Amino acid sequence: MIKENYPGKFIVIEGLDGSGQTTQVKLLKEYLESKGLGVITTKEPTQPIEGAYYSSVAQEIKDVLDKVKTKEAKAFQEMFAQDRKEHLDNQIIPALKQGQWVICDRYAFSSFAYGTAHGNDMDFLMSLNEKFLMPDYVFLLKVSPQTCMQRVVRRNEGIKFFEVEEKLANTWKQYEEVVKRFPEINVINGEETIENVHQEIIKLMKI
């Protein structure tokens, strides 16, 4: 992946569904803004929601994740890569050029882990993403698949494509392989309290 050299900073928070990354994105945004920094938050895959940025393939990805449509594993990951390219070109990089800090809920590392768990070759997935930006900071929240499923069920928003305990367990194994390939990823115990996880992220960023 390509080193990020823009005036802003690019931060990614990763984890299994239910690991709490969305909460940590919100808390980190509030913290950075309290330091006087300009911050935008976003997520992948981009969400086809009125008033928000989303890519040309966002709706189709959502339909597959919601189990409305089906897609062959390789083609599905190619859609994620297209979503990411548009996301970078149209939202993330313009913000970084302006000196803003961008916090993204999931990024290419989700594709590597979930995509491999779904039957793709990790080297193939990495080749799809090799020309994309490498974030300045990546935080991976480590939460057991059992705990994640309990949290997903409590959300009462329906079970998505990957939100099955067996799939999540396999996905975590792939995340462990991703960390071996990207040792700069910071793995954090996501089963600590929300505040403790937040403080650990801040400490590792040294801000």
Q: In which domain, by residue range, is 42 found?
A: 2-205
Ramachandran assignment for 186, one of left (phi > 0), alpha (psi -120 to 50 degrees), beta (any other): beta
CATH number of the domain enclosing 150 = 3.40.50.300
Q: 């930006």: which residue's tokens?
A: 133
Task: Determine the pLDDT at residue 161.
Answer: 43
Task: Determine the pLDDT at residue 164.
Answer: 61
The per-residue pLDDT string of the chain (207 residues; one tens digit each, 9 = 90 and over) reads: 999 899 999 999 999 988 999 999 999 999 999 999 999 999 999 999 988 899 999 999 999 988 899 999 999 999 999 999 999 999 999 999 999 999 999 999 999 999 999 899 999 999 999 999 999 999 999 999 888 888 877 765 544 444 467 888 899 999 999 999 999 999 999 999 999 999 999 999 987
- Count of domains for the chain: 1
Task: Determine the pLDDT at residue 150.
Answer: 84
Residues 6 or more apart whose CB falls under 8 angstroms from that of 52 comprise: 46
What does the angle CA 41 – CA 43 – CA 44 come to, to the nearest 5 degrees? 160
pTM: 0.92
